[in-house]
Amino acid sequence: MAGQQLDLFAIDRINVEPEGSPAQPPLRAGELTDAALIAALPDAGVTAAPRLAAEAARRRLVGAVPSLEKLCWRLTSFGADRLVPEQLAALEALADIGGEAARQAIARLVAQRIVQGPTLAAALNAAARLGSSLPRLGEFLNDTDPTVRAAACRCVRSAGPYLRVLIEILDDPRPEVASAAALALGRIGRVEARPLLMGLLRREASAEIVDALARIADEEVIVTFGRVARAMPDLAQSILDALDQLGDFGAARVAATLRAHDPACSGFA
């Protein structure tokens, strides 16, 4: 169905005021009352929408959630091959506001394909941040767009029917997609992800990789955690937290060694 929708970006984007119409003064988002901000959001244009959405997010304005969703609906069928700035701003604001209403709003926007193309990937990333429950996730895991596949991996919270496809995606030709699948599998405790995650830990360690590996840690992972903590002091706290949570003698020994001998870790005792 999504493939049959008209991409309105293929024709002129109707965001230009008619010739001769009086110029409208720019909205000063920070000066609007909550009610005025909420009222302005659904019809905001490409210039105003990011400012208004960012202000709603700054205020954590839960009452703005329906208006942010309406803003996305207004632009249905735009952006099959490019980001829609107004929708992107609304999605980011929903993710920042958080809460059950925002989770459900993003789930509806994804389920009904109100967002498409690169903006769909942004919506899936927002859904992952909020922990939204998404139908048809398997469809997105098999999408032709690698940014959508990677974002869909971030939405997986339990193996369920997605285990087989996640394991297959470990061999995805796009490294960012394979990495996202490995992180998803690690988070749900699947050891199939360990080799790829270990490679990532050695090449481009991050707190997210440490967290995923901690759930499937073996002796090699524990030793490597110690080496990475010494080489990358910024990750020392995340690694010590992971080691402490393992409840393993080897992990406890590595953590004690880090605290006793590594200056970067000496404050974490």
Domain ranges of the chain: 33-135, 155-214, 217-269
Give the separation between CA 155 and CA 243, rounded to whole angstroms: 26
Per-residue confidence (pLDDT) for residue 264, from 0 to 100: 53
The whole-number pLDDT of residue 262 equals 62
Q: Measure the CA–CA gap between 55 and 241, rounded to whole angstroms.
A: 35
pLDDT value at residue 197:
98
pTM over 0.85: no
Q: N- to C-terminal Cα distance for the chain?
A: 57
Contact of 152 with 137, CB cutoff 8 Å: yes
Measure the CA–CA gap between 246 and 251, rounded to whole angstroms: 7
**Contacts of 183 by beta carbon, 8 Å cutoff, 6+ apart:** 153, 154, 193, 197, 208, 209, 212
Q: What is the pLDDT of residue 157?
A: 86
Angle between helices 219-231 and 236-246 (to 10 degrees): 160
Sign of CA dihedral 190, 196, 201, 202: positive
Structure-token match 């709603």, residue found: 56
What string of pLDDT tens digits covers the 269 residues of the chain? 444 444 444 434 444 444 444 445 566 889 999 999 999 999 999 999 999 999 999 999 999 999 999 999 999 978 778 899 999 999 999 999 999 999 999 999 999 999 998 999 999 999 999 999 898 899 999 999 999 999 999 999 887 889 999 999 999 999 999 999 999 999 999 999 999 999 999 999 999 999 999 999 999 999 999 999 999 999 999 999 999 999 889 999 999 999 987 655 544 43
